[in-house]
Amino acid sequence: MEIRQCTDKDWPAIFGFYSATMKDGRSYAFPEGQGLEEARPWWMEQPPGQTVAAVAAGEIVGSAKMGPNRPGRGGHIATASFLVDPRHQDQGVGRALGEYVLGWARSEGYRGIQFNAVVETNLPAVHLWQSIGFQIIGTVPGAFDHPEHGLVGLHVMFQEL
């Protein structure tokens, strides 16, 4: 698997699993039902951030976006978001993207990485982030409207670098 920076041309391929993930409704508090162009700025980051693609056998199987979590006096903490094509889950794509983001944030001089809203029932994601060094800082109760479980918590997760 190769992880490389995205270009605008990659967006239609990523949008396929972006929109499937948002429609599924189990992992992101993002708008649902967005069109291709409407969704583009929600995923394709501008510098100093970036968006990358995970490529396997010539196909984009996942993507991550990353950048400063806040401007100004919070700009030394990074954040990131992750998508794995549902057809390529359980193949280590999320882990590879997570480790890429850790390396990117270290090389860019960030002092830590914060995930602002990890759905507490998304246990594969919670456990993956814990396995690469993230801790749960706190959980906002009932902050996510899950299609099966109703109102569930959103974890704030963090790792110092």
Question: Rounded to an integer, what distance in angstroms lies between the CA atom of residue 34 and that of residue 76?
Answer: 31
Closer residue to a second copy in complex, CB, 61/134: 134
Q: What 8-state DSSP symbol labels residue 34?
A: -
Binding site for a second copy (CB under 8 A): 22, 25, 28-32, 69-77, 111-112, 114, 116-117, 136-146, 151, 154, 156, 158, 160
Nearest distance, CB of residue 102 and a second copy, angstroms: 17
Q: What share of the chain is helix, strand, coil (3-state, %, to 5)?
A: 35, 35, 30
Closer residue to a second copy in complex, CB, 17/28: 28
Nearest distance, CB of residue 2 and a second copy, angstroms: 31
The Cβ-side half-sphere exposure at 3, using a 13 Å CA radius, reads 21
Phi first, then psi: give them for residue 156, nearest 5 degrees: -95, 120
Nearest distance, CB of residue 112 and a second copy, angstroms: 7
